[in-house]
Amino acid sequence: MTLDFEGSMITGDDEESQVFAQVHGHDSCTIIFRYALSPKDPQSLANRIVTCFHDLPANDPSETFPNRAAMREELYSSICRVWHQCIEHPFIAAPDVTVEIYEDPQGYTQWRIFHENLYNNYEELLLPLRSLFENGVVKDPSYSIIDYSSLIQISYCGGRGTTKLVRSPLSPENIYVFKGFEFVSYLESRAAFVHQKNTLYHEIQTISSLPRHPNIKLPANLFVATRKNIIDQESIICGTLYSFLEQGTLDDQVQNAKTTGARLPLSDKAAWCFQMTSAIAHTHYTAHTFHMDIKPTNFLVDDNRNLILIDWEQSAAPLYTLAPEADGSWDVIDESTGPAGSTKPELVYKKYSGPDRENLPYGRPKWNVFPLWRDSCPRAVEAAEVFSLGRTMWMLLEQVTQNEIEYLDDVVVSWSENANDIPDDWRTVVHCCLSRDPNRRLRLFELVNFWEARIHRACKKEDVSDG
C-alpha cells in the first residue's frame, strides 16, 4: 500500500474510548484522525480499532483485530481512502481540527471534521515566552518565534514527548529537531500532557540558567508557538527548534562502527570521555546542579566531532546507567570526620523502609533522589553521576549499543577480545567509577584530569601506528 502521508503516532485516550492517529502529508499539513468506540455497532471499523488498541474484551473475533499490526494496516488504509478529500477541506489545517473516521450504514468509510473545544483547554495550559525566564526577560534577545502550523514534518525521532525532524519556513534548506508537545498529546491524557509540558519548560529554564560550556547544548533561540501575536514574548510556546546534527549521537557512532566491524579510534574515545566528563563536572562544580539522564544517546556529535550534552529535563533516569544507590530506595547523609579538610567526606547510606513514596509519577525511579540530594548532599549526587559516566564510558570503549542493554535486568560490565585495544588504565578508571561503594568512586575532577592527559597519549600512539 502506497501512502501519500506518513504516520507519526497512534495513541489512545485515558478513558479507552478513542484512538487518535496523527499523520502528515508529504509537504502538506498534519492531521489528527479519530476513531470512537461504538457499543451499538461492535463490528464497525472504529469499534474494532479501539477494541484492539486498548485491548478491550470482545465477544467475537469479528469485533477486533488478530494483532496490532493488522489494526495499524487497516487504520492507515481507512485514512488513505479519505485522504485526498480531507486535504481539500478549507479548514483542515486549523489547529483545533480533528477528523473522525466512521462507517455509514452501507459500510463505506466516511469522515467528518470536528473543531475540538478541548483545544482551548490545551492552549490555556501553555505559557508565553516571557513566563519561561526569570523576571520575564530572555537572556539572549536574538530569538525567533515560528508558528507550529508552518513547520514541515519530516519524521519522528522517538523518546519522551514529541521529538521530530522538521523544516522551517525561515530557512527551508535546513533540517531542525523540534522538541515539544502537540495537541494530540493532550487528547491522549491531560495529566500526562501537563507533566510533559512542565518537563519541557523546566528544560528550557535549566539550559537558559546554565553557565556556558563548549560541550553543553546552548539555550534555544528558535521557539515554536501555537499562535503568533504582535508582541513576540506573548506568543504561546509549545516547543523549541535546534539544528539537526548529521553525525547523530554517540550511540549512533558506536552502532555505525559495529555495523562495519570497525573499532573507533582511541583518540576519539579519549577525547569523548574527556568531553562528557568535563560537561558533567561543569554541571556539578559550576552550575551546582545535575543531569540525571547520562547515556550515549544524550551526547550529540557535532560537525567538528565534539560531544554536546542534551536532554536537560531532569525527570527520568535510564536503568542501565543509573547508580544502584539512586534507585529511590536509599537515603544518604554526608558524615565528615576529623578536622575540616583532613579527611575525605564519608557518604553514609541507609535503606528506606517506610511507606511507598513517589515524586516522579511519569518517570523513573518513582522517588527521584537527585533534586533532594543536590540540596542536602551534593557529594552523593556527584557519586551517582560518576557511576552513570562509568557505564557510558564503558559502552563507548567496549562499543556496546543502547539496544543491547537497555532492557536487561542486570548489566554485566566486562571486556571482550574486541576491546584489546583499550589500555589497562582506562579499564581501571571505568571500574573505579562503577564501584558499588560510592565512597570509593573517583571524583569528577579526577576524571577530567585523567582523560585530559590520555587525549595526548592516544594521539601520539595512533601517530606512531600510522607511521
Locate 379 and state its grid cell.
Answer: 557529594
What are the structural domain ranges in the chain?
Answer: 5-115, 120-243, 250-466
CA–CA dist 175, 203 (Å, integer)? 22
Q: Which fold has domain 250-466?
A: Transferase(Phosphotransferase); domain 1 (1.10.510)
What's the pLDDT score for residue 461?
A: 59
Model confidence band, residue 464 (pLDDT cutoffs 50, 70, 90): very low
pTM of the model: 0.89
CA–CA dist 450, 386 (Å, integer)? 14
Locate 411 and state its grid cell.
Answer: 548489566
Locate 323 and state its grid cell.
Answer: 547508580
Q: Which of 137-141, 194-198, 391-395, 402-406 is least confident?
A: 137-141
Residue 109 pairs in a beta bridge with 103
Locate 425 and state its grid cell.
Answer: 588504565
Q: Any idea what DSSP says for residue 216?
A: B
pLDDT(8) > 90: no
State phi, psi for 247 to the nearest 5 degrees: -80, -5
pLDDT(466) > 80: no
Sign of CA dihedral 288, 292, 294, 298: negative
Closest CA to 275 of 105, 447, 135: 447
Domain 120-243 has CATH 3.30.200.20: yes
The chain-wide mean pLDDT, for the chain, equals 90
Q: What is the pLDDT of residues 388-445, one digit of tens each?
A: 999 999 999 999 999 999 999 899 999 999 999 999 999 999 999 999 999 999 999 9
Locate 294 and state its grid cell.
Answer: 547520562
Closest CA to 270 of 425, 435, 464, 444: 425
Q: What percent of the chain has pLDDT over 70?
A: 91
- How far, in Å, are 86, 104, 309, 366 from residue 108 at the CA level? 16, 6, 51, 47
Looking up cell 535549566, which residue turns up?
Answer: 206
Burial of 357 (C-beta count, 10 Å sphere; 0-12/13-18/19+): exposed
What's the pLDDT score for residue 156?
A: 78
Q: What is the pLDDT of residues 200-218, one digit of tens each?
A: 999 999 999 899 999 999 9
Q: Are 413 and 431 in contact (CB under 8 A)?
A: yes
pLDDT(73) > 80: yes
pLDDT(136) > 70: no
Q: Which helix (H) or strand (E) holds 7?
A: strand 5-12
* 135-151 average pLDDT score: 75
List all residues 6 or more positions away from 435 whose beta carbon is below 8 Å from its beta carbon.
441
Q: What number of CA atoms fall less than 13 Å from residue 70's CA on the CB side? A: 10
Q: What is the pLDDT of residues 24-70, one digit of tens each?
A: 876 667 899 999 998 888 999 999 999 999 999 999 999 999 999 99
Q: What is the pLDDT of residues 320-358, one digit of tens each?
A: 999 999 999 999 999 865 455 545 668 999 999 999 999
Closest CA to 73 of 48, 110, 103: 48
CA–CA dist 103, 110 (Å, integer)? 6
Q: Any idea what DSSP says for residue 241?
A: E
Q: Fold match between 120-243 and 250-466?
A: no
Q: What is the dihedral of CA 417, 294, 207, 236, to 10 degrees?
A: 110
What ranges make up the beta strands (E) of 83-186?
97-103, 109-115, 127-128, 144-147, 152-156, 162-167, 176-180
Q: Which helix (H) or strand (E) holds 11?
A: strand 5-12
What's the pLDDT score for residue 64?
A: 96
Q: Are 224 and 148 in contact (CB under 8 A)?
A: yes
Q: What is the pLDDT of residues 249-280, one digit of tens each?
A: 999 999 999 999 999 999 999 999 999 999 99
pLDDT(93) > 90: no
Inter-helix orientation angle 250-260/378-398, to 10°? 20
Query: SS3 of 443, please?
Result: coil
pLDDT(229) > 60: no
Locate 465 and state its grid cell.
Answer: 601506528
pLDDT(14) > 50: yes
Q: Which of 173-182, 269-278, 452-461 is least confident?
A: 452-461
Closest CA to 389 of 298, 464, 454: 298
